């Protein structure tokens, strides 16, 4: 996996989904489902999205049947989930969402990542992802960069436009170990 970390506001999620869609990607909801099979997110649904996990792909990145095993235990027991990297390769988006705690309103942490390989259970082989996956990933990452970022906990977090606006309104970082630089406040 290759990834890119960022800090988001709820308002940034529809924008990022639109960028992925405009790159020609199909966007699938990453939450477990009550029925086997993917739940595709339509562009008309983007404005309602404020957090979540999403798998993005093109039809040429699917190399066989996509397994949807039933979850055997835990909070999602009995529901179905797709196995990332099995017969397919893609780009994953994760948004933790904004939250309120005892210190105040916090922005969300987020990540975009890409698979570098995929597994074929039919052949018991691992194959490299098509070069196009990296190209699309890099294109999306370039569109997300605002030039504003913070470094903390050994990682660099890029700040999305909605997050930058809410920092000015007093929103806190998603984690206590991150401090806003004075020029962002």
Q: What mean pLDDT is predicted for residues 104-109?
A: 97
Q: What mean pLDDT is predicted for residues 163-169?
A: 96
What is the pLDDT at residue 1? 58
Sign of CA dihedral 59, 64, 67, 68: positive
pLDDT in tens, 58-95: 999 999 988 889 999 999 999 999 888 899 999 999 99
Looking at the 3D structure of the chain, how many domains does it have?
A: 1
What is the pLDDT at residue 38? 86
Is there a contact between 85 and 120 (Cβ–Cβ < 8 Å)? no
The residue range of the domain holding 171 is: 2-184
DSSP letter, residue 15: H
- Distance CA(34)–CA(12), nearest Å, equals 28
Query: How high is the mean pLDDT of the chain?
Result: 94
- Least Cα distance to 81 among 95, 69, 89, 66 occurs for 69
Query: Burial level of 140, CB count in 10 A (0-12/13-18/19+)?
Result: buried
Taking phi over 0 as left and psi of -120 to 50 as alpha, with beta for the rest, 74 belongs to left
- Distance CA(124)–CA(158), nearest Å, equals 38
Q: What mean pLDDT is predicted for residues 12-23?
A: 98
Q: What is the pTM of this model?
A: 0.93
Is there a contact between 111 and 6 (Cβ–Cβ < 8 Å)? yes
């Amino acid at each position: 996996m290759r990834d890119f970390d960022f800090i988001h506001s709820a308002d940034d999620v529809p924008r990022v989904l639109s960028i992925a869609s405009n790159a020609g990607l199909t966007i699938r909801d990453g939450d477990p489902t009550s029925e086997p099979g993917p739940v595709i997110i339509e562009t008309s649904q983007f404005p309602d999205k404020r957090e979540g996990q999403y798998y993005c792909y093109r039809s040429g990145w699917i190399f066989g049947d996509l397994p949807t095993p039933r979850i055997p235990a835990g909070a999602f027991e009995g529901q179905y989930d797709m196995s990332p990297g099995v017969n397919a390769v893609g780009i994953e988006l994760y948004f933790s969402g904004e939250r309120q705690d005892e210190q105040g309103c916090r922005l969300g942490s987020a990540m975009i990542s890409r698979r570098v390989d995929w597994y074929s259970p039919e052949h018991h082989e691992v194959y490299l992802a098509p070069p196009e996956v990296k190209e699309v990933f890099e294109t999306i990452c370039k569109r997300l960069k605002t030039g504003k970022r913070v470094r903390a906990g050994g990682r660099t977090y890029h700040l999305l436009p909605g997050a930058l606006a809410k920092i000015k309104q007093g929103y806190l970082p998603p984690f206590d170990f991150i401090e806003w630089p004075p020029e962002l406040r």
